[in-house]
Structure 1
Amino acid sequence: MVTNTVAIFFVLAFSVIVSLWLEKRFKTFKKLGAGAIAILIGIALSNSGFLPGDSVAYDFLMTQGVSASIVLILLSVDIKSIKAAGPTMLKAFLLGAVGSALGAMTMSMILANQIGNEAYKLAGQFTGTYVGGGMNFAALGRAFNTSSDLFTAGIAADVIITAIWLVVCLAAPVLLTRNSSDEISADTPMPKDNSYTIEKSLYRSDGSMKIIHVAVLVTVVFGTIWISEALGRLLPFLPEILWLTTFVLLTAQIPYIKNIAGGAMLGNYLLLLFLASNGAKSVVANIVAVGPAVFYFAMGTIAIHGIFLFGVGYLLRIDAGTLAVASQANVGGSSSALALASARGYTDKILPGIAVGLLGYAVGNYLGLAVGNIMQAFL
């Protein structure tokens, strides 16, 4: 068994390389995503006895490490870009966010006995991840101090449900729209989008990084984490993650910060290391025991989200295509919204979908914290 802390970091780093290679090389793994693959590799390494189930390396990545990744990724969010969403897409996105919150609250009450005293944590985390994507799940898990087994089961359930829901949203506009003339046909040219989105920035840098840029990013990371931790201790009624998110979003609007390339890519790498370490801390027997209830939790949350979004959206006469893109912005983030809009040929919905996806990244933590705290008091 590897017990040296530096050696453990090496194994985790190599696991991330393998995860990224598998995601790029094989279609099956691409559907899973590098994050889910990293978790599975971590689980395999620890449960086979190669890595320990506990280490200071894991503790660092699950505290300051994941906080640093959140800072670096959120620095890519431009609040002004949200204006591109337009009122209809924004309205659909907000309906989806409310549906996710209602779904998570409902499922936490239904499954409270099966999941136990951490049900309120899942309510907050699934609200966050189904408002703005999986990054919020990690951030809220840090805020609620969710156990590794429950966290990993939640990630696994999220991967499965998100994939199924993408298929549903691809079919929904065809099934729910009587006049399907606006749907993409076999000979319809696919839209070309060359914009540099946050999803692209997670995997590559748009331009070279200079040492001054690295120095600024490192300073912002250390400063933001230090200030948010200090304020979290000084004002304990407001969680640290709330301060962290707020300060990062404000800092991200500084013109000089906006022009720094590579921050989101570095943040994504730290996030993958964190996910690998979370897998290494997980015991398979415990995940299997808690898994079915967590899967039902995720499935029920998405079902209520969909019923509320498409039901109320229909009453408000919002077209099914807009509702589907908005739902993917909620559940999968900007990348899923972009994929669906492109696949369906909704050239007019690509930028609005990306914009509300960015909004989800920004507000998911806030709504998730609110729902989690409400359900903690209620359950």
Structure 2
Amino acid sequence: MIAADNIFSLLAVLLFISAAAAIMETTRVGRRISGVGFVLIGAFVAAHFNLIPRSAPLYDVIWAYLVPLAIALFLLKADLIKVFTEGGRVLVAFAIGAIGAAAGAVIGALLFDLGPHEPAIAAIYSATYIGGSLNFVAVAEAVRLDDPSELAAALAIDNILGVGFIICMNFVAGWAFLKKRFPWRLESIWGSAEDGGASDSGQAYSFANLLTAIALAAAVVAVSTSIAAYLGYESYSLLFITVAMTLVATAGRRFVSRLRGEDIVAMIFMYLFFAIIGAGADLNAMLNSAPGLFLEVLMIFAVHLVFIFIAGAALKLNHAEIIIASLACIAGPPIAAAIAILMNWRNLVAPGIMTGILGYIIGNFVGIGIFRLLGGVLQ
């Protein structure tokens, strides 16, 4: 196995998996699955057979530095007015999906045996599937769920089924059936070439323009994270980046419209991000854990999807808006943004991030509320 501190060897494997996925995406079968699915599966298999570690300093670097920069790069040409116009629809779908996730957590707790810490388990899962891993840790601490074996099992199932949910939604994103069933305002997810809504990867670009785009994105990330840290909101720095980048992109739309190639750089970073997500999943730990936890998560996913697709049909949302809202809720803003980017739904990148970060804020409250609802007592 490649050691966790063998940075370049590990990076080479992750890049090889990403390159292989990009090649597979060009095949007939690959166009149905997309490169993301291949990256997730490839990294999971590599970690499962001990070719690469499940955690490493390199993974922390990718998460902490490359993901924010990638998101900033893809927001470089976001039209703030259009983002908020379309973002309202994603926000509505997200809110309904969050209600579904909370309802699924309560239903699962009532139907399945989750062990002696049932209210706490339902609380942490509802929080993490409305917010994210940050909420998992925060609610686990708040409800005093500190049993190492139970936390490890809960995290293992969260990782495995979370990756499975991302892969499944990635498959679903390309289904012709959904495009026909939820076709409303479908043209609104893309932009025109003039406003940067379409992918620029096929257009000519200069080395100077590419470096300018990267430098501008890096500057926005640097300023945004510094402001977030100064105000004491480091965990929500992605929100600061999103707001700052969209303001820059809207105010300087004529300037940034001339920049090309940033999509390619950001795509590389995102593929590496998905690789570390796949590598972190632990199948053995999940199989050795209580089946009730497994069923609880599946119930949350099922009820969430029922809520969000019924709402989508009733409110006439298109399939892309539903999928991004669902991913923002279950998987978090980086995943929602990455899928929007890779599907070329540029007008849904910022809404996916903003609604997902809303989940960070409300997830803790929902989790603790469910804990109390199911009879838990805060100490």
Task: Answer yes or no: same fold by TM over 0.5.
Answer: yes
The Cα of 1:142 is off from its aligned counterpart by: 7.7
Report which stretch shifted further, 17-26 or 151-160. Answer: 151-160
Partners of 2:51 and 2:324 in 1: CA distance:
38
SS of equivalent residue, structure 2 residue 25? helix
What RMSD, in angstroms, separates the aligned Cα atoms of the two structures? 4.0
The Cα of 1:298 is off from its aligned counterpart by: 2.4
Partners of 1:220 and 1:324 in 2: CA distance:
33
Change in 2 beyond 3 A, CA 1:173/1:305:
closer
Q: How does 1:323-338 map to 2 (within 5 A)?
A: 326-327=321-322, 330-331=325-326
- Over residues 95-150 of structure 1, what are the superposed CA-to-partner deviations in whole Å (9 max), with x where a residue is unaligned? 4333223223333444574566353122125xxxxxxxxxxxxxxx5897896863
Counterpart amino acid of residue 285 in structure 1: N
Partners of 2:156 and 2:64 in 1: CA distance:
13
Could you tell me which residue of structure 2 aligns to residue 209 of structure 1?
206
Given the alignment, which residue of 157, 163, 167 partners 1:155? 163
> How many positions carry a matched residue from both structures?
318
Could you tell me which residue of structure 1 aligns to residue 15 of structure 2?
13
- Answer yes or no: is the 8 Å Cα contact 2:123–2:368 preserved in 1: no
- Answer yes or no: is the 8 Å Cα contact 2:224–2:240 preserved in 1: yes
Change in 2 beyond 3 A, CA 1:270/1:21:
same
Counterpart amino acid of residue 127 in structure 2: Y
Change in 2 beyond 3 A, CA 1:308/1:14:
same
Could you tell me which residue of structure 1 aligns to residue 374 of structure 2?
none
- Answer yes or no: is the 8 Å Cα contact 2:239–2:353 preserved in 1: no
Could you tell me which residue of structure 2 aligns to residue 136 of structure 1?
none
Could you tell me which residue of structure 2 aligns to residue 98 of structure 1?
95
Change in 2 beyond 3 A, CA 1:77/1:49:
same
- Answer yes or no: is the 8 Å Cα contact 1:2–1:8 preserved in 2: yes
Partners of 2:338 and 2:367 in 1: CA distance:
32
Given the alignment, which residue of 210, 219, 222 partners 2:218? 222
- Answer yes or no: is the 8 Å Cα contact 1:95–1:309 preserved in 2: no
Partners of 1:330 and 1:117 in 2: CA distance:
20
Change in 2 beyond 3 A, CA 1:143/1:106:
closer
Partners of 2:60 and 2:348 in 1: CA distance:
30
- Answer yes or no: is the 8 Å Cα contact 1:228–1:240 preserved in 2: yes
Partners of 2:338 and 2:56 in 1: CA distance:
34
The Cα of 1:354 is off from its aligned counterpart by: 6.0
SS of equivalent residue, structure 1 residue 2? coil
Q: How does 1:240-255 map to 2 (within 5 A)?
A: 240-253=237-250, 254-255=252-253
Report which stretch shifted further, 301-310 or 110-119. Answer: 110-119
User: TM-score, length-normalised on structure 1?
Assistant: 0.68
- Over residues 325-361 of structure 1, what are the superposed CA-to-partner deviations in whole Å (9 max), with x where a residue is unaligned? 7545645889999xxxxxxxxxxxxxxx968635634
SS of equivalent residue, structure 1 residue 207? coil
The Cα of 1:306 is off from its aligned counterpart by: 2.0
Change in 2 beyond 3 A, CA 1:19/1:143:
farther
SS of equivalent residue, structure 1 residue 241? helix
Partners of 1:38 and 1:370 in 2: CA distance:
30
Change in 2 beyond 3 A, CA 1:206/1:63:
same
- Answer yes or no: is the 8 Å Cα contact 2:70–2:269 preserved in 1: yes
Partners of 1:116 and 1:37 in 2: CA distance:
32
- Answer yes or no: is the 8 Å Cα contact 1:15–1:41 preserved in 2: yes
Could you tell me which residue of structure 1 aligns to residue 264 of structure 2?
265
Could you tell me which residue of structure 2 aligns to residue 120 of structure 1?
127
Could you tell me which residue of structure 2 aligns to residue 61 of structure 1?
62
The Cα of 1:163 is off from its aligned counterpart by: 4.1
Counterpart amino acid of residue 158 in structure 1: I
Change in 2 beyond 3 A, CA 1:217/1:34:
same
- Answer yes or no: is the 8 Å Cα contact 2:72–2:241 preserved in 1: yes
Could you tell me which residue of structure 2 aligns to residue 186 of structure 1?
none
Q: How does 1:356-367 map to 2 (within 5 A)?
A: 357=348, 360-361=351-352, 363-367=354-358
Partners of 2:95 and 2:361 in 1: CA distance:
12
Partners of 1:36 and 1:260 in 2: CA distance:
29
SS of equivalent residue, structure 1 residue 65? helix
Could you tell me which residue of structure 2 aligns to residue 348 of structure 1?
none
Change in 2 beyond 3 A, CA 1:164/1:220:
closer
Change in 2 beyond 3 A, CA 1:224/1:371:
same
Partners of 1:152 and 1:158 in 2: CA distance:
10
Q: Which runs of 5+ in 2 are unaligned?
A: 110-117, 139-154, 185-189, 328-335, 372-379
Change in 2 beyond 3 A, CA 1:149/1:62:
farther
Partners of 2:56 and 2:337 in 1: CA distance:
34
Partners of 1:219 and 1:124 in 2: CA distance:
31
Partners of 1:200 and 1:291 in 2: CA distance:
40
- Over residues 64-86 of structure 1, what are the superposed CA-to-partner deviations in whole Å (9 max), with x where a residue is unaligned? 1212222112223222445886x
SS of equivalent residue, structure 1 residue 372? helix
Partners of 1:284 and 1:67 in 2: CA distance:
28
Partners of 1:83 and 1:55 in 2: CA distance:
38
Change in 2 beyond 3 A, CA 1:69/1:91:
closer
Partners of 2:72 and 2:338 in 1: CA distance:
20
Could you tell me which residue of structure 1 aligns to residue 77 of structure 2?
76
Counterpart amino acid of residue 126 in structure 2: A
The Cα of 1:221 is off from its aligned counterpart by: 3.4
SS of equivalent residue, structure 2 residue 205? coil
